[in-house]
Every structure is written in C-alpha cells, then in structure tokens.
Amino acid sequence: MVFSSVIFLLYFLPVFLCLYFLAGKKYRNWVILLASILFYSWGAPRFVFILLASTWLDFHLVGHMYREKNPMRKKWLLGLSIFLNVGLLAYFKYANFFVDNLNAFLTSIGAGAVPWADVILPIGISFYTFQTLTYSIDVYRGVHRPLEKARDYMLYIIMFPQLIAGPIVRFNEIADQITERQETNAERLMGFYRFCIGLGKKVLIANVLGAKADAIMGMQDFSTLDSTTAWVGILAYTFQIYFDFSGYSDMAIGLGKMMGFRFPENFDNPYVSKSISEFWRRWHMTLGTWMRDYLYIPLGGNQVTVARLYFNLWFVFLISGLWHGAGWNFVAWGAYHGLFLILERLFLNDWLKKMGGFISWFYCFLVSVLGWVVFRIEDIGMAGLYYRKLFSFEFGILDFSDGRFWFIFSCALFFSFFIFFPQGKKIQDKIFFKSYSSRMHVAMWCASMMLFVFSVGALSTADFNPFIYFRF
C-alpha cells in the first residue's frame, strides 16, 4: 500500500484517523502500531514477520548494551546490533547484485555459475535499516536513553508515515515524542494541508511528468532519438523525481503532524542551488545529515589530511549511491556527485564565486540533470548512448500536441524555482511554517480539499501511478 492509492486515501486513512482520535491517549500508540503492521503487511506480508522479529531482538540487544558496564562488551553488543541490521539489508538488497556479478565473472573465465534463486526486495528496507542503526548508535553514544517498551521501539521503526519512503527520522529527534507528545487541532489541520500538498505534488505533477519520462527514457532503442526529445525526457524525469520524492516527504510530515509528531524536513528547493555542495544540503536532507553524522564524521570528517578528506567525501557518496539501489549505475551516480564535491573544494567554488549567481546556478542545475541520466537508466551502456543523444545536436521539432504535459511541466518549473521570486520565500514560509489565522485556515482547507478531490479523481482514472522508491 502506498499513500497515493485510492485504497489508502478513501479507506485506510479515514478508518485509521477515526480509530486514532476515538482512542484514549494511552491507546493511541497501539492504534498507530497495529495500523503500521497492517499497512506494511499489505505490500510485504512475508517480510513483516522478519521485520517484527528483528526489531524485537534489536530492542533487547540495545537495552542489554545500555545496561552493560564493561566498555569492551558494550562495543561488541553495538557491533552485533549493527551486524544484524546491516546483514538484513545486505542479504535482501544486495545478495542478487553480488551473485549476479560473481556469476558473470565466473562465466567469463569458463567456470560454472553459482546456483541462486533471486531474493525479493522488501519495500522500504533501506529506510528501516538506517533508523535501526540510529537507535543503537545514539544509545551507545549516550545521546538518548533507550525506550523502555518494545512496542514503543517497534512504533519508532515501522510507523507507517515514514517507513517506506522517508524522511529518515533519527531516534534522538523523535524519542520523547513517542512517549509524550502534544496534539492540537491547529497542528492536525496543518498536517492535513501538508499531506494534501504532497499528494498533489505526487499525483498531479510527478505522475504526469513520469509518464513522459518513461515514454522517452524507457525506450528499448535510443538510436532514433533526437536531442530535443532526449532533453525533454531527462528534464521531465528531473522534475518527476523531485516532486515525487518531496511529495511523499510532505505526505509523511503531514501525517505525522496529524498524530502530534514533528518529522524533520527533507527538501528545501534543491534546484535553486548554486553548487553541488549546496544541492546536497537541500536534497534529501535527512539522508545527507545521516551520512554526515554516522559515516563521514566517524571516518574523520574534515579533521584529516587533504587526501583523506577527498577519499572520505568520495567514499560517502559511493555508499550513498549504492544505498539508493543495487546496481552499477547507482555506484556511478554516487561517484559522479562525489567527484564534483571534490572539484568544488579544489577550485570550482572559487571560479563560481567569480562568475556570479546565474552561472553558478546553471552549472549546478546542469550537473544534477545530467546525473539523473545514469540514475534513471540502469544499463550503463544505454545511459552512455543517452548522453551521446543529448549532445548529438540533432535537434527535432518540439511536439506541443500533449498540452497537459506542457502545462504540468510549466507548473513544475514555476514551483521548483518559486523562491527565486521576491515574495516566494515569504509565501512558502507562511504556508509551511507559520501559524495560521482563521481566514488562512479557511483558505487552506478549501485549497487542500480541492487538491485531495482532484488527486483522487486523477488516481481513479489513470493507470500510471509508479512507486519509484521500491528499489530503495
């Protein structure tokens, strides 16, 4: 089950909210937990038992680690917790990738292939793993006490708003909210508005752009593709992945607010960035801060030699690429972004400052757009051919017959660069982060209901509604 489905919007969510608000305060966490188990079981009925069992085991393992006084035993228990969680991720997400590459190598040298039955990838396992790791590491570091009840830990891990598509909620950010949180009607309404905005971004914008991107970038043969169509395809995908991913994050944040939770923001207008470093401070921010605090800094961060610093940057982005998917194209995408981060530290930042804001923005936007090619096209050879088509300068005539696509594409452009306008940042802050007056509530309620109705209507009549994070 996903948020942008009729069954979630018209059945699961209304029933859940009724039960949640009718339940007494002491029972509301139980309602969320049971609803989350049902939500996850809908899409992964087999893995839910492994998820619950591993979560229960990790809870007791970390609790024992917290009470352990011997420093060496404490480290061993932390290592065991990390091994358990990373081991699950490695098996379910990367075993097929490893065996396929091993068999390709064995075949190339004339040896026999390893017998193997493909492992099914459980939905949301990357987000699940990162959250379990933050729990054990934060408790080990003394950032926060462990939770006292196993059900509260299970709630933190499998809470359905942020389980399958983020944001990545770190334990110390939400621990106190699990056991004690304030819920107000104003916050619930603002959560509903935020959910509807995210739903509109996903259904009304991303899905339309995604259909065009799939039609072009999903072609089996790029030999007949002209440069104009190739650019339309990659630009459509550029805005599809942003509005899809940020839309899901908005829906998760909105659902959390309806229940009194405050999840961290995950996107901050990334396409207005003027460097790749800034882009990664604005794109999937919870992943960036996770990588910084749990991987980059433990590797030494900036407190190392220059050569080691560049290695750390590149290594972190290689891991980030591999986190997104088990494929060489994701590794290449991570290496690509890591390379530009290193180049910016070496000399590009100085050049960009001299060349001015527009050139800096155009450079960053172009680099990020070109990076999405290898992210979207899993076959490296096909991705290379697509790059050649982008720069073959065999221009064709733009096809404006699909008026709906071009209208939505124009909307995507406008909202992606909205804060470039003088009042854009103020309007954005007023909608997302300020308290509302009664008049503002009425306006937002009407706008949100329109977005909700239009989105449900679009879902009811369309047969294209991809969940592009399944492989994450």
Catalytic choice (64, 324, 337, 441): 324
- Residue 467 to residue 464: CA distance in whole angstroms: 10
Asked if 2 contacts 164 with a C-beta cutoff of 8 angstroms, the reply is yes
- Catalytic status, residue 324: yes
Exposure b/e, 14-53, CB count within 10 A at least 16 = b: eebbebbeeeeeeebbebbbebbbebbbbbbeebbeebbe
Tokens, residue 451: 């977005």
* SS3 state at 397: coil
Residue type, 175: A
For the chain, what is the largest distance between any 2 Cα atoms, rounded to a whole number of angstroms? 74
Query: Using alpha carbons only, what angle is made at residue 372 by residues 366 and 373, rounded to the nearest 5 degrees?
Result: 100
Asked if 256 contacts 268 with a C-beta cutoff of 8 angstroms, the reply is no
- Residue 88 to residue 75: CA distance in whole angstroms: 20
Residue type, 336: Y
Other CB atoms within 10 A of residue 464 CB: 11
- Residue 351 to residue 135: CA distance in whole angstroms: 42
In Å, what is the CA distance from 17 to each residue of 28, 164, 446?
10, 20, 20
In Å, what is the CA distance from 53 to each residue of 43, 152, 168, 344?
18, 14, 21, 45
**Residue 428: exposed, middle, or buried by beta-carbon count in 10 A (0-12, 13-18, 19+)?**
middle
E strands, 249-372, are none
* SS3 state at 356: coil
DSSP 423: T
- Residue 94 to residue 124: CA distance in whole angstroms: 14
Asked if 1 contacts 7 with a C-beta cutoff of 8 angstroms, the reply is yes
- Residue 13 to residue 192: CA distance in whole angstroms: 11
Asked if 268 contacts 289 with a C-beta cutoff of 8 angstroms, the reply is no
- Residue 210 to residue 469: CA distance in whole angstroms: 13
- Residue 227 to residue 126: CA distance in whole angstroms: 36
Active site residues: 324
